[in-house]
Amino acid sequence: MNKLASLLSAALLLAATVASAAQQMLDVRLVKLTGNGTVTPGLESVAAIIRRNLPYAGCALVDQQGCIMPANATLAFKGGYTVTCKTLDGAVGVTIQKNRKLLLSTAVTLKDDTPVIIGGFDGGAKGAKHVFVLQKSP
């Protein structure tokens, strides 16, 4: 009987491990946009979108956090930013605060692994802006 219980426990543990590995993640990156052309490796697709739509050439990764989908988390970032993500019907509700001051509250639809860029907050340096990049990852 102990052998059967051990086998069942092992099977349940394996099933839980496989299920958690299959869960999709929501990656949230804080990115600083600048006028220079320097791009942090891994942000090339984001930089291409930015260059097509905004007068910025550089993208620097400031911080990165993530949560398991469906999202229901508050993530803390450098610079006093917090991002709260909550899965809604077919979208993700996003609330961004800096030092507890509300900056933005919106809902975004995430498709496949296409990045969604939101924000445009003061980035400290001359003309620099901070944006948040949300992206589902397998």
The pLDDT assigned to 2 comes to 53
The pLDDT assigned to 125 comes to 78
The half-sphere exposure of 87 on its side-chain side, counting CA atoms within 13 A, is 12
Yes or no: say if 119 and 131 are a contact pair by the CB < 8 Å rule. yes
- The rounded percent of the chain whose pLDDT value lies above 70 is 84
The pLDDT assigned to 7 comes to 41
The separation between the first and the last C-alpha atoms of the chain, rounded to the nearest angstrom, is: 39
What is the pLDDT confidence band of residue 104, given thresholds at 50, 70 and 90? very high
pLDDT tens digits, one per residue of 118-132 = 999 998 878 899 999
pLDDT over 70 at 85, yes or no: yes
Cα separation, 59 vs 123, whole angstroms: 12
Q: Give the ranges where the chain is alpha helix by DSSP (H).
A: 2-21, 44-53
Residue type, position 103, single letter: L
pLDDT over 50 at 52, yes or no: yes
The pLDDT assigned to 8 comes to 44
Average pLDDT over the chain, rounded to an integer: 86
- The rounded percent of the chain whose pLDDT value lies above 90 is 72
The pLDDT assigned to 137 comes to 87
Distances (CA, A) of 126 to 33, 34, 36, 123, 131: 11, 8, 11, 8, 15
Please report the sign of the dihedral spanned by the C-alpha atoms of residue 97, residue 103, residue 108, residue 113: negative
